[in-house]
Structure 1
């Protein structure tokens, strides 16, 4: 494909920087019991801002589409919203702290996303390439390292197939905290890939060398080589434990990039036993979470935990990794 060469977006465009208010890494997380609804309220969706919250005026916002394209584009918000739209209900999950990648965080929510299919924009631009570089308006310092922009590179085919240029969550415009006016959302991918405060999409044939592409958010493959964090792990969260006489009713949600096909509830007392849970239908698309529930004897039970498995054969580890089983202390209600 002839077209403009791929530009290295290691530095931000010239001009006044976007205001970060507040600036600095910001986190917010609700407890598991607040996530019991099929669709997570926006105020209950976790928040991670590596550099803080970008304040982007909607009237001056533009999305640039360039790189390996026949027709470079620049769209304003009205122009993007005038294009075809799609709605998908899917999980948004934080991978966790990239400096401690094996530490569980339990940050997830199931959200109704509405926006323009990325494919519509790529088709209009005449895009051909292997990768899509997505850049955000946010900038700042993370782990003591200055960064002029947030950047992720993603497989073009995957983003073309299911990516959304989202401007609504649960039927309302995105909040500033969640990426207003537009963020990239790719169902089945970890939140780190779903770039907030989106400013440009560049079609490329090579990976971008950047703090958030080839250094952070990596994990070793079977050969030991690092690979970028993309597909959701199989995971589950206990959101309700209710005592009813001699029984406990345990419920929660399970999800992953591959279909969840089973959940077991573990009962921990003097001994440990596993009980198969009943599975509901996904609360939305194939990338939404699924309800699970089980009734177990209450006598002698001190803790319960859930363990999901998916159609690809993956199963949650009991301990020691970011998607390790969620454990709830029955008496205190504390979770680990």
Structure 2
């Protein structure tokens, strides 16, 4: 995002203290560079996180702008506005009056891989550490929305508003109502435990397969609307469209995107390829893969004459169908095997049996999704925005969003005798 236009751009006191507390409590995460101190951000501390299908809570990344609010779960309510009127739900109502489901979802920050942009963009300089897969437990949004008369989506949207914002600012995000009715949750559990406070306790929206910004934490209000949230559309004081209409949009440097009521296709890559939206919104995740083992943190000794390469691949609402491995910096490629749990909107494990000689190597992984879209090797130069996709590169963008190039995520490995 553009720091100059961020309405919440002042440094928040208490940020470093909150990050230290999360790192010490979780154990498997590390702080991520954010020189302006505007976000609470920690990412997976080791690549080994990405050699496993389920991400422990202690290794799952965290990202939010406002400090964790002080919560009294007994008094927390979620208001729901629909065509048949308004509904106010307590946490007991949400847990007891509706079905309970568990959904596997790979959560990825829209700014994951931002730190790979050259020149550097603004905000948090993530590597590939802002992704994790968990089981999210909660109430289907479809069940809640039926209570207020929502049976069909049409062209409408669902707007969620977080309860972590100051009075003059709202963190509001809109998703197509069809997606909300299909598989979204009001989640209050994570990996079998109550939702941790830094992940939105007592309740958050979870939008499977979509970038994490759409899964509003500490949710306190849901509204069925004719279009996406726009400035002035919520009938409340202050600003409330920034996080939908300006931030988390993909655009070249120096551009302020225009507001839109709707988009025809929420698939982020499809928006990049088409001319229907000038500056794409970060909704559905782009195809992506990460090698988790070898991690590059220590030398590798083959067992017999082989080394097992393990990692994860995902593609948002779509499925990863192929993963390839290169052990010679992209000169040649071999197919890895997908294995393990196979859930919609969650990553797949991959493995590759490698027979290396002693020496130094750089390993790459690249995934292809069911639509035939493959990770590009690099991120373009800023001036190549117009031609990046045609040239086989991911477009450098001012916010550093939705990048999925494979070369920056290569892992350097030393193979010993």
Same fold (TM over 0.5): yes
Of 84, 90, 96, which aligns to 1:70? 84
In the other structure, the counterpart of 2:347 is 289
Taking the aligned partners of 1:304 and 1:120, their CA distance within structure 2 comes to 46
- How many residues matched? 306
In the other structure, the counterpart of 1:324 is 405
Q: Tell me the secondary structure at the aligned position of residue 212 of structure 1.
A: helix
Of 195, 199, 208, which aligns to 2:229? 208
Taking the aligned partners of 1:103 and 1:169, their CA distance within structure 2 comes to 23
Of 88, 108, 116, which aligns to 1:93? 108
Taking the aligned partners of 1:293 and 1:218, their CA distance within structure 2 comes to 34
Of 58, 73, 93, which aligns to 1:43? 58
Gaps of 5+ in 1: 1-18, 141-145
The answer to whether structure 1 residue 110 and structure 2 residue 133 are counterparts is: yes
Once the 2 structures are TM-superposed, how far is the Cα of residue 164 of structure 1 from its aligned partner? 0.6
Sort the Cα spacing of 1:290 and 1:315 in 2 relative to 1 into closer, same or farther, 3 A.
Answer: same
In the other structure, the counterpart of 1:273 is 332
The answer to whether structure 1 residue 303 and structure 2 residue 362 are counterparts is: yes
Task: Indicate if the aligned counterparts of 1:35 and 1:44 stay in contact, CA closer than 8 A.
Answer: no
Of 153, 158, 170, which aligns to 1:132? 158
| Range that drifts further, 113-122 or 35-44 | 35-44
Once the 2 structures are TM-superposed, how far is the Cα of residue 105 of structure 1 from its aligned partner? 3.7
Task: Indicate if the aligned counterparts of 2:50 and 2:291 stay in contact, CA closer than 8 A.
Answer: no
Task: Indicate if the aligned counterparts of 1:61 and 1:77 stay in contact, CA closer than 8 A.
Answer: yes
In the other structure, the counterpart of 1:230 is 283
User: Which one has a larger percent helix, Structure 1 or Structure 2?
Assistant: 2
Sort the Cα spacing of 1:106 and 1:73 in 2 relative to 1 into closer, same or farther, 3 A.
Answer: same
Taking the aligned partners of 1:198 and 1:296, their CA distance within structure 2 comes to 46
Deviation per residue, 1:4-32 (Å, 9 max, x gap): xxxxxxxxxxxxxxx99949511001122
Taking the aligned partners of 1:243 and 1:274, their CA distance within structure 2 comes to 22
Deviation per residue, 1:112-155 (Å, 9 max, x gap): 11100000000011136600110001126xxxxx9622110110
Equivalences for residues 184-223 of structure 1 within 5 A: 184-209=205-230, 210-219=241-250, 221=272, 222-223=274-275
Q: Tell me the secondary structure at the aligned position of residue 208 of structure 1.
A: coil
Once the 2 structures are TM-superposed, how far is the Cα of residue 103 of structure 1 from its aligned partner? 7.2
User: Which one has a larger percent strand, Structure 1 or Structure 2?
Assistant: 1
Once the 2 structures are TM-superposed, how far is the Cα of residue 219 of structure 1 from its aligned partner? 2.0
Equivalences for residues 171-190 of structure 1 within 5 A: 171-190=192-211
Task: Indicate if the aligned counterparts of 1:36 and 1:252 stay in contact, CA closer than 8 A.
Answer: yes
Q: Normalising to structure 1: TM-score of the pair? A: 0.84
Of 302, 321, 325, which aligns to 1:261? 321
| Range that drifts further, 92-101 or 222-231 | 92-101
Equivalences for residues 27-42 of structure 1 within 5 A: 27-30=41-44, 31-42=46-57
| Range that drifts further, 25-34 or 124-133 | 124-133
Sort the Cα spacing of 1:227 and 1:136 in 2 relative to 1 into closer, same or farther, 3 A.
Answer: same
Once the 2 structures are TM-superposed, how far is the Cα of residue 34 of structure 1 from its aligned partner? 2.8
Deviation per residue, 1:158-214 (Å, 9 max, x gap): 111100100000010001100000000011111000000000100000221211000
Taking the aligned partners of 1:139 and 1:200, their CA distance within structure 2 comes to 12
Once the 2 structures are TM-superposed, how far is the Cα of residue 272 of structure 1 from its aligned partner? 2.5
| Range that drifts further, 234-243 or 98-107 | 98-107
